[in-house]
Structure 1
């Protein structure tokens, strides 16, 4: 009987792992007999590993080339990454197991799959271990350790990648990408088409994941100079970017533009917007889709996000515009014929979106008694 569940997540490598964990906890909390303990995997490695985890934001904000190098090296030698993390977290992890005595371990971060399984095997500890992949298409080999009892995949594409890495199809469950319930727009409201009227401002939202990367200022200028619109920009944890945007845009465009930092209630902005501009962050994409908010994807981090723009276009969840010079033409095309293409995206998102993903994942986990 599964009563105690340990979730290994991350608080500092973007916000997606934490958001996924919260979406599952919402459902677990409905089961009064289930105890869930969440730990930041990087905290198990003390100061050294926490510094590595916290470096994700600065690196992805300022040096995509360095991030790609880290990704490539880790992908070539995943066993070395596992052994390094195993060595650093072993003592604290074993103590954690003694303290909470989990009946099942769920990992939502790639760095704590093979490393934790190594520790369990080396100490002959038998606890079911499940991996929940937090990326959509371009997954790390670290996600796909064939020794996991099950791997929960958000997409068929990620499942196919796991099979390439040597995971048995029988051990992979495609259950979708879990999103917190507060992001799901009332389906009745979302079915109303956007009737674009040049006299009514188009509500634009520009964001780029929790770390706030991307050329937000230029996108905002193109929108404000060429369309009747308002622009909300979420700079995430990037305080320096937020200050620069406030200085360059608010003075010029006044109340047509608003700049925000990291937000716990980002769903309010998503639900009140007509269109969103973002990089291919899987969590941001899936939350926008849950809000039935059409996407214009302006780029992607190398590595885990590389194929996400193509994924969005494949399922007609948004359009890709990686060259900022084409933003004006892209938006004009979406708004043509009374926003016909914008409304087609909204319709495709409603067909794709599934508000029961988190529940289905929890139900599957609890069925493993």
Structure 2
């Protein structure tokens, strides 16, 4: 069996993490599968991918209000149909042509999209009957943007019941929509083991975006009872800033390529401060860690935050009260933690079946025992 997975861009992102998670789940049930991950931008026009990804990073970091307005005008709208009006017709036709040729050459049995743009292209190709391969959308945020292909896509793996209802409202048959949750790598799907460590993880430093510098200064200005471990990734500037603080309660962690090591830090933490990215929040909720956010990047993170706050699955930090005081009011209170755990359990119960079970139902299994 041959499967092609389509994220977008080469830079590390939630779409790539989702792709890696899905691939690992498939490998567990179909070790015979040949799986190929392809960034369609790089495949079609390598220099264009570099330009577009660089422009995107500069746009959201230097003009966040502009990007937010664009996103709300063309990417995610109240009627769910605005993407048809996006001024990308010529580029869409070019990429559709190249994608159809690529699929004809590779002849995959299934295609999995972890980004909305390849899904949009394939949805149009399927409508025109230029592609007949079964397509799976794997959604990586807590909402469904307008750009995703919908009615001509064969399978939809959605994060929650509300997303399923939204797709059905847009004309997708309910039997083609599976509530699996946002994909989490099997490395994180282990029983949560509480430890006696008093540490808070701080994530979001790898991209160099967000309000981390302000957050760390706020922490440094107050006495701390917890140790704050900051995931710096490749951001050397952030590591240097933390070292210059000279605060033994604020520690910089380098880039971690090992999921096992990342899982250990999750296990040792009492909570996490992060941005509301779909994959990161899903991993943390899998570990049953209370999530605190201090701002969101424009676009999808804003809508993720809206949904998560509505379900009271995350807590938003403010400048009015010392940060640690806001965190300890939740994690040091059995009453508050139990309330949050009940909301988390309710959210988790919306999943109709695990990702592994869903993939097994579609692909079948060549293993004697499939982990459920």
TM-score range (shorter-chain normalised) is: 0.7 to 0.9
Preserved CA contact (<8 Å) 2:4 2:36:
yes
Q: Is the 8 A contact 1:13 1:56 kept in 2?
A: no
Deviation at 1:276, TM superposition (A): 0.6
Cα distance change on mapping 1:289 and 1:105 into 2, 3 Å: same
- C-alpha separation between the residues in 1 aligned to 2:337 and 2:257? 27
Change (3 A) 1:12 1:78: farther
- Compared with structure 1, are the counterparts of its residues 70 and 204 closer, same or farther at alpha carbon in structure 2 (3 Å cutoff)? same
RMSD: 3.1
Determine whether 1:132 maps to 2:138.
Answer: yes
Task: Indicate yes or no: 2:273 matched with 1:280.
Answer: no
Deviation at 1:280, TM superposition (A): 1.1
In the alignment, the residues of structure 1 paired with residue 364 and residue 190 of structure 2 have an alpha-carbon distance, to the nearest angstrom, of 29
1:197 paired residue number: none
Q: Distance in 2 between matches of 1:104 and 1:151?
A: 13
Q: Deviations over 1:164-199 (max 9, x none)?
A: 444343432222111001223424x24x7x7xxxxx
**CA deviation after TM superposition for structure 1 residue 277, in Å:** 0.6
- TM-score in terms of structure 2 length: 0.81
Matches of 2:257 and 2:50, distance apart in 1: 22
2:231 to 207, 213, 234: 234
* 2:44 matched residue in structure 1: 45
Task: Indicate the residue corresponding to 2:65 in structure 1.
Answer: 65
Alignment partner of 2:198 out of 194, 197, 202: 202
- Take 2:200 and 2:42, find their aligned partners in 1: how far apart are those partners? 38
Distance 1:73 1:319, change over 3 A: closer
Gaps of 5+ in 1: 195-200
| Aligned position for 1:21 | 19
Shift of 1:159: 2.2
| Contact 1:85–1:115 under 8 Å retained in 2 | no
Shift of 1:246: 3.5
For residues 54 and 163 of structure 2, what CA distance do their matches in structure 1 show?
26
CA distance in 1, matches of 2:338, 2:62: 35
Larger deviation, residues 164-173 vs 32-41: 164-173
Answer whether contact 2:275 2:296 (CA < 8 A) is retained. yes
Q: Distance in 1 between matches of 2:59 and 2:71?
A: 12
Alignment of 1:51-130 (within 5 A): 51-75=51-75, 76-78=82-84, 80=86, 83-122=89-128, 124-130=130-136
Alignment of 1:202-221 (within 5 A): 202-208=198-204, 211-221=207-217
Q: How far is the alpha carbon of 1:39 from its aligned partner? A: 0.8
Quick one: structure 1 residues 331 and 117, their matched pair in 2 at CA, closer, same or farther if it must change by over 3 Å?
Answer: closer
- Does residue 253 in structure 1 map to residue 246 in structure 2? yes
Number of paired residues? 350
Q: Judging changes above 3 Å, is the alpha-carbon distance between structure 1 residues 261 and 142 closer, same or farther for their aligned structure 2 residues?
A: farther
Aligned to 1:8: 6
* In 2, Cα distance between equivalents of 1:330 and 1:152: 35
Shift of 1:329: 4.0
- Look up the SS of the partner of 1:269 in the other structure: helix
Residue deviations 1:263-295 (CA, integer Å, cap 9, x gap): 323333322221111121111101111222211
**Is 1:341 the counterpart of 2:336 in the alignment?**
yes
Distance 1:35 1:211 in 2: 32
Verify the 8 A CA contact 1:136 1:157 in the aligned structure 2.
Answer: no
CA gap 1:54/1:169 in 2 versus in 1, 3 angstroms: farther
The 3 A distance-change label for structure 1 pair 344 and 99 is same
Q: How far apart, CA to CA, are the structure 2 residues paired with 1:232 and 1:303?
A: 27
- Does residue 1:173 correspond to 2:178, yes or no? yes
Superposition deviation, residue 92 in structure 1: 3.5
CA-CA distance at 1:112 after TM superposition: 1.0
Task: Give 1:342 deviation, angstroms.
Answer: 4.0
Unpaired stretches in structure 2, ≥5 consecutive residues: 76-81, 366-372
TM-score by length of 1: 0.81
Q: Distance in 1 between matches of 2:255 and 2:169?
A: 37
Matched, 1:151 2:149: no
